[in-house]
């Protein structure tokens, strides 16, 4: 299957290893992976702040980069949510763009959603002998409706110890520009989240959205916690390499 990547701006510039891990996993499952460097960002930061014109400009660059793809996979539930949920509305006034936007929206999947629902893979053969807790990001789980898929993938990892996160479904306080504009409120929210993560005693916090993980990770590191923060794809890829080492 030909799979085009949408590597979000955050992953591209700050967490490129998440993109690498996702690429490797997809390749290991027989996907012919492509990446168009003409993409930048989904346009969410400006859209959620109210600047639709800016978002249209940015989103149309992404649509141009992706419109010829068969399917698109991205490591962020929030950005995929933006594309699926808001692109049709964003281009409501231009029939030509709207059609392309809907086409891109219909073929774009979040990573775990694609693995489980399209590739029908919930066991990637990974082994990860650590205590792990999972934070379900709001946009991925609520707006996009990806709830069980990440857990299905995690549950099949060998030797993993999954610890439930108290108040898991409460927002971590990221919310894009919210974290900057309402920094103190957002700070209080992430503080609570980081405390809950620490309470679990897990070595690793895993999630499916780097925005949230950057937020929680930033608070954990500021408060001197050593908890490792990983994207689901990173964890699975590291786990796949672990189990290879065992076999060899």
Partner 1 sequence: MTNASESSTTVLQRAEVAMQDEFLRKAVRFTTDRLRNKKQTVTASFGNWEAWRERGEAIRAHTIANLDFYLGQFADNLEKQGAHVHFAHDAAEAVTAVRQVVREKGAKQIVKSKSMVSEEIHINQHLEEDGVRVIETDLGEYIIQLAHEAPSHIIIPAIHKNREQIRDLFEADSANNLSTETRDLTAFARRRLREAFLSADIGITGCNFGIAETGSMVLFTNEGNADMVMNIPKTHIVVMGMERILPTLSDLEVMAHLLPKSATGQNVITYMSMITGPKRSLDHDGPTDLHVIILDNGRSRQLGDAQFQAVLHCIRCGACLNVCPVYRQIGGHAYGAVYPGPIGAVLSPLLNGGEQYSDLPYASSLCGACYEACPVRIPLHDMLVHERQRQVQNGHGKPLEQLAMKGYRQMFAKPGCYRLAVRMARSFQGPLVRNGKIRARIGPLGGWTATRDFPALAKRSFRDLWPNLQNGGDSDE
Site for partner 1 in 110-149 (CB under 8 A): 138-139, 142-143
Asked if 158 touches partner 1 (CB under 8 A), the answer is no
| The one among 4, 25, 43, 204 contacting partner 1 by CB under 8 A | 43
Q: What is the 3-state secondary structure (H, E, C) of the chain?
A: CEEEECCCHHHHHCCHHHHHHHHHHHHHCCCEEEECCCCCCCCHHHHHHCCHHHHHHHHHHHHHHHCCCCEEEECCHHHHHHHHHHHHHHCCCCHHHHHHHHHHHHCEEEHHHHHHHHCCCCCCCCECCCEEEECCCHHHHHHCCCCCHHHHHHHCCECCEEECCCCCCCCCCCCCCHHHHCHHHHHHHHHHHHHHHHHHCCCEEEECCHHHHHHHHHHHHHCCCCCEEEEHHHHHHHHHHHHHHHHC
Closer Cβ to partner 1, 89 or 99, answer by number: 89
Closer Cβ to partner 1, 53 or 245, answer by number: 53
Site for partner 1 in 186-225 (CB under 8 A): 186-192, 214-215, 217-219, 221-222
Asked if 45 touches partner 1 (CB under 8 A), the answer is yes
Closer Cβ to partner 1, 159 or 222, answer by number: 222
The least distance separating partner 1 from the CB of residue 3, rounded to whole angstroms, comes to 12
- Site track for partner 1 across 53-92, x = CB under 8 A: xx--xx-xx---x---------------------------
| The one among 1, 2, 38, 147 contacting partner 1 by CB under 8 A | 38
Q: Which stretch binds partner 1 (CB under 8 A): 97-105, 108-116, 153-161, 176-184?
A: 176-184
């Amino acid at each position: 299957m030909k799979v085009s990547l949408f590597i979000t701006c955050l992953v591209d510039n700050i967490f490129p290893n998440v993109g690498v891990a996702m690429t490797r996993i997809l390749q290991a499952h027989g996907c012919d992976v492509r990446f168009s460097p003409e993409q930048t960002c989904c346009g969410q930061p400006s859209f959620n702040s109210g600047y639709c014109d800016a978002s249209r400009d940015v989103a149309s660059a992404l649509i141009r980069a992706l419109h010829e793809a068969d399917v698109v996979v991205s490591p962020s539930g929030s950005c995929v949510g933006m594309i699926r949920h808001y692109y049709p509305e964003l281009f409501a006034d231009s029939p030509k763009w709207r059609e392309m936007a809907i086409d891109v929206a219909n073929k774009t999947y979040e990573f775990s959603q694609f693995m489980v629902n399209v590739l029908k893979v919930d066991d990637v053969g990974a082994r990860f002998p650590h205590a792990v807790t999972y934070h379900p990001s709001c946009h991925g789980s609520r707006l996009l409706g990806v709830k069980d898929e990440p857990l299905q993938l995690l549950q099949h990892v060998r030797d993993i110890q999954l610890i439930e996160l108290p108040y898991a479904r409460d927002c971590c306080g990221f919310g894009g520009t919210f974290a900057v504009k309402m920094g103190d409120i957002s700070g209080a929210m992430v503080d609570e989240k980081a405390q809950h993560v620490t309470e679990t005693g897990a070595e690793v916090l895993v999630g499916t959205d780097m925005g949230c993980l950057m937020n929680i990770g930033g608070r954990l590191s500021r408060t001197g916690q050593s908890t490792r923060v990983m994207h689901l794809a990173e964890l699975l890829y590291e786990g796949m390499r672990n189990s290879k080492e065992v076999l060899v």
